[in-house]
Amino acid sequence: MSSPLILWWWWEHPDLQVREIGGTRFCGDTKKKQIPFGNDRKKGKYKSNGKNKGKHRFPSGMTNLKDFVRSQRRRADDTIESMIKGITTVASVASVDGFEKLGSLFRALGFEEGKGWEDAGGRGAAFLAPLGNLELVTGREPAVPSLLVEVTQLDAVYSVVRSWMLNPATGNFRTEEIVVKLTAVAATHWNSRLFTVDLAPGLKIGFWESENPQHGRPIAVEGDLSAAGKKFAIVVARWNAVITDRLLQGALDALHRSGCAKDDIEIVRVPGAWEIPSAARTLAESKRVAAVITLGVLLRGETAHYEAIYTEVARGIGQSQQETGVPHAFGVLTCETLEQALDRAGLKAGNKGFEAAIAAIEMASIQEKLADKTKGGR
């Protein structure tokens, strides 16, 4: 089947004929001169690229028609994928009672309602979910209900369903009925847990949760919290040492707990927060370390000096990270009082030095993984 681009060329240039030689299509004129198919035609003459004079030039990275056709096929496939928006399955409910009960249960579980309809022949109700699947089977019928709802907290859903069934205003099931119609949560042979509820004759629903914690999650590059084999630098300000020393101890604790050797940690002390960006930039440009951890503290006081210093420190650390490509963890506290700073240095609100080091470890791992992907061409 000809591609739209090939048909367009045939229409615009009726004097040219499409020929196939050895599985490759060529465009030839009445003199049988074979010229590979491509684009960038201008004023009826083929452009020359200086090397293949007389031949038509292909887009960058393509040397023949086969590459060009493959690119068009990939483009067509991408277009088809982007056209798929969602999937809807229509389930017929035999009775009005079953219809009402199913709708009531789905509302109790928090389903988003879509646009329903009603006419002389019947009624319809739509319930939307973030993810929809259509599963086709042949041969042996599966032992599960035809209507399956995947959830993330199966035990909590089970409690909601049971409470809904016991409520006279919603499910209105007797206690002895629930024992029969609501099965207990049980493991399946397909790596999940499942329970079913029989709402009405011919209307059974299954709720299930995968035992694989990564099931259904989007594929993403995430960092590992392992500092083994990596070198880190810590730039810490001496000013307000009663705070910064606590931050430093927290950062060292995080690195050692994550497997970083003592010799792989380089500590640089600077006079104050203002000098942190300069030292961090020097360390990052050396490419000796996988990440830089910046630690300091700024107290507001009674002057505008605080805001001017903080703005430039934050900007300098950010620029150093962006321009060198080495991750920088921001552990510079900005507090109103000394008491607030002490709280953030380990007394009440956790140790921000520890948190900054953990962020640096994760970002170093992410950078490593992204670099491996780039080298692999994936």
Using pLDDT thresholds of 50, 70 and 90, give the confidence band for residue 26. very low
Name the percent of the chain lying above pLDDT 70. Answer: 76
Catalytic residue annotation: 305
Q: Could you tell me which of 321, 306, 315, 316 has the C-alpha nearest to residue 277?
A: 316
Q: Is the pLDDT confidence value at 347 over 50?
A: yes
Q: Which of 131-135, 212-216, 228-232 has the lowest mean pLDDT?
A: 212-216
Please write the tens of the pLDDT for every residue from 172-188. 898 899 999 999 999 99
Q: Is the pLDDT confidence value at 162 over 70?
A: yes
Using pLDDT thresholds of 50, 70 and 90, give the confidence band for residue 276. very high
Q: Which of 35-44, 64-73, 320-329, 330-339 has the lowest mean pLDDT?
A: 35-44
Q: Is the pLDDT confidence value at 301 over 80?
A: no
Mean pLDDT in residue range 364-368? 94
Q: Is the pLDDT confidence value at 373 over 60?
A: yes
Name the percent of the chain lying above pLDDT 90. Answer: 42
Mean pLDDT in residue range 23-29? 47
Q: Could you tell me which of 316, 231, 319, 148 has the C-alpha nearest to residue 332?
A: 316
Mean pLDDT in residue range 209-213? 86
Give the sign of the dihedral formed by CA 306, CA 307, CA 309, CA 315: positive
Side-chain half-sphere exposure of 309, counting CA atoms within 13 A: 19
Question: What is the C-alpha separation between 349 and 347, in angstroms, rounded?
Answer: 6
Mean pLDDT in residue range 71-80? 53
The phi-psi region of residue 206 (left if phi > 0; otherwise alpha if psi is between -120 and 50; otherwise beta) is: beta
> Mean pLDDT across the chain, nearest whole number?
80
Q: Which of 45-54, 59-68, 153-162 has the lowest mean pLDDT?
A: 45-54
**pLDDT value, residue 115:** 86
Q: Which of 41-50, 112-121, 281-290, 365-374 has the lowest mean pLDDT?
A: 41-50
**pLDDT value, residue 154:** 92
Angle (deg, nearest 10), helices 241-257 and 352-376: 50
Q: Is the pLDDT confidence value at 227 over 80?
A: yes
**pLDDT value, residue 71:** 58
**pLDDT value, residue 3:** 30
Using pLDDT thresholds of 50, 70 and 90, give the confidence band for residue 350. confident
Q: Is the pLDDT confidence value at 198 over 90?
A: yes
Q: Could you tell me which of 187, 184, 211, 210 has the C-alpha nearest to residue 197?
A: 184
